Amino acid sequence: MSFDWGIIAGNWKFLLLQGLFGIGSFGGGTLRLAIPAMVLGSILGVVIGLCRLTHRRWISYPAVLYVEIFRGVPLVMVIFWFWFLIPQITGQRLPDYSVALAAFVVFEAAYLGEIVRAGVQSVPRGQVDAALASGLTYGEMMLHVILPQAIRNMIPSLVTQFIVIFKDTSLASIIGMMELTKAAQIVSQREIRPFEMYLFLAVVYWICAYSMSRFSRRLDSRISPDHVQSTRVLRLSS
């Protein structure tokens, strides 16, 4: 089988600009979906995570239910739900991009909420004791003592989750949203060279994901002020 590099040379601009960044007449775009999904999902995730941590059951139980429901179903199914449900409820079709974004935010918030909860719980109980004993209020304790340490512990999980979201955006192609996978499909059908196209697709996904995980390691060692701990983390993760 001969390998036709010309296919890639002729289409890479379309794939990257339209597929990855969403610049072009089709809208969509892998990063244009992944980044807002991560940001909005994290905001909802903080709310869900802190709700799960309260002792008031009427707040924590719904949060537990939310997390358990969305962790128990496949993302594809949630995307389909939104695709069929939103027109039923609102009476009008939303753009593919909006449907996909809504589905991703709702679905990923369940995972991000668990990351927030685990992050807060990873801070030793003694930190709460010391902060409260010094006269800080609950809010001051969270803001100045607990969350800075929790976020530091959460960064590796957050980056991992972002990489998952980044790769999962390919599922948005099933409702026809334009993104990297969809762009590759279009090109490969037009040119009838699926092998080259999907190989190129894999390389693009891999380079993006790998550079994100490298970035996370650098970030992790930079913001961690105690050098003992940061060298240990570096050694374990490399």
Partner 1 sequence: MLGYFVNSLFQAQQPAECSLLVAEQVRFPPDVPFAPKGFPGAGLLDFVVDGPTKQGYQDIVMITFRQVNKWFGATHVLRDVDLKVRAGEVVVVCGPSGSGKSTLIRCINKLEPIGQGEIIVDGRSLSNPTTDLTALRAEIGMVFQQFNLYPHMTALQNITLAPVKVRKLSREEAERIARKLLAKVGIPEKADHYPAQLSGGQQQRVAIARALAMQPKIMLFDEPTSALDPEMISEVLDVMVELAKEGMTMIVVTHEMGFAKKVAHRIIFMDEGRIVEEGGPEEFFANPKEERTRSFLNKILVH
Q: Does 152 bind partner 1 (CB under 8 A)?
A: yes
Q: Is 228 in the site for partner 1 (CB under 8 A)?
A: yes
Overall residue count recorded for the chain in this entry: 238
CB of 225 to partner 1, least distance (A): 5
- If one asks whether residue 136 binds partner 1 (CB under 8 A), the answer comes out as yes
Question: Which residues ranging from 161 to 220 are in contact with partner 1 (CB under 8 A)?
Answer: none
Q: Of 86-94, 134-142, 199-207, 211-219, which segment contacts partner 1 by CB under 8 A?
A: 134-142
Binding mask 54-93 for partner 1 (x = CB under 8 A): ----------------------------------------
For residue 119, the 8-state DSSP code is: H
Give the Cα separation of 99 and 32 in Å (integer): 13
**Residue 91 or 126: which CB sits closer to partner 1?**
126
Minimum distance, C-beta of residue 136 to partner 1, in the bound complex (Å): 6
Half-sphere exposure of 224 (CA within 13 A, CB side): 21
Residue 135 as a binder of partner 1 (CB under 8 A): the answer is yes
Alpha carbon distance 146, 34 (integer Å): 28
Burial of 173 (0-12, 13-18, 19+ CB in 10 A): buried
Long-range contacts of 127-134 (CB under 8 A, 24+ apart): none
The region, left, alpha or beta by phi > 0 then psi within -120 to 50, assigned to residue 93 is beta
Give contact residues for partner 1 (rule: CB under 8 A): 124, 126-127, 129-137, 140, 144-145, 148-149, 152, 225-229
